[in-house]
Structure formats: C-alpha cells, structure tokens
Amino acid sequence: MLEPGDRAPDFKLEGDDGKTHSLKEFAGKTLILYFYPKDNTPGCTTQACEFRDSAALYKKKKAVVVGVSPDKATTHGKFRDKFELNFLLLADPDHKVAEAYGAWGDKVLYGRKYKGIIRSTFVIDEKGKVVSAQHKVSPKGHAAAILETL
C-alpha cells in the first residue's frame, strides 16, 4: 500500500475525452487522484459532485482532480455529461492501476466477499511523490477534507 513519501506509480489510462493519459502529464502540478467504485451510483455521484463543486478552490491551490474507476471511458463520458463534471475521469477496467495504488482489494457486501475498488484518494506532488494516501474514505465531505490537506 502506498504511503506518503512513496513515488506514485505511473499509469496510462483512457480518459472520458477518448485520449490516453499518464501520470507524467501532471508533472509540475498537484494531482488529486481518487479511485471510486462505479459511475452513477449514489456514493460515487455524491463524491464526484462535491469535487465538481469545489473546482474553483482546487484551482486556487493549483491542484488537478482526476477520478479513476473500472468503468469504460464511454460510461465515464455519460457520467461526466449527466452531472456536468469538470474534471477528467479515467478508465481502469482491468484494475491494474488501482492495484498498484492499493485501491483494489477485499470487500464485503451483505455478507458476500468479493474484490473491488476500495474508495481511496492520493495527493501527488509536482514531482510525482505521494503526499497523502487515504483509504476507505467516505464520499460525503471528502472533497472538502482533501482541500484541508493541501
């Protein structure tokens, strides 16, 4: 599991804009990389909308928000448009990037064990180092909590 001070793992993932994005393109910026389970679900929508509504505050801090889930890029595009999201969403369908960040693991729902996204957020500095690593976060109020860490 990633900890503050670790180098953030590189990635190459398709975005909701149809382009391939990598960690390197965010060099020189503070990156808020958050992993969420699924587009259009209540918790994920709450979390995404809070990041959307906080965009001006993140911009003042020179931070860029990027969401990652196992959904396809086309699904991300629909989610983005439906809720007027103003940040990039990346598709990680094979969950390899989530695994590299420690955001994929065992979960339990109604007594059933399965593997899935562990809602996690990473603050990555301009040089690619992890400044903050938060796992099992609550969607509500999370965008404001991350702002406080900046």
Angle of helix 142-149 relative to helix 42-53, nearest 10 degrees? 50
Which residue of the set 8, 13, 32, 44 is catalytic? 44
Contact criterion met (CB below 8 Å) for 21 and 31: no
Q: Is the pLDDT score of 109 beyond 80?
A: no
Q: Is the pLDDT score of 55 beyond 90?
A: yes
- CATH code of domain 28-149: 3.40.30.10
- Measured over the CA atoms of residue 98, residue 99, residue 101 and residue 103, the dihedral's sign is positive
Interval 19-44 mean pLDDT: 96
Residue-wise pLDDT tens digits, 110-145: 888 989 999 999 999 999 999 999 999 999 999 999
- pTM: predicted TM-score of the whole model, two decimal places: 0.94
| Whether residue 44 lies in the annotated active site | yes
Interval 89-104 mean pLDDT: 97
Task: Tally the residues of the chain.
Answer: 150
Structural domain spans, the chain = 28-149
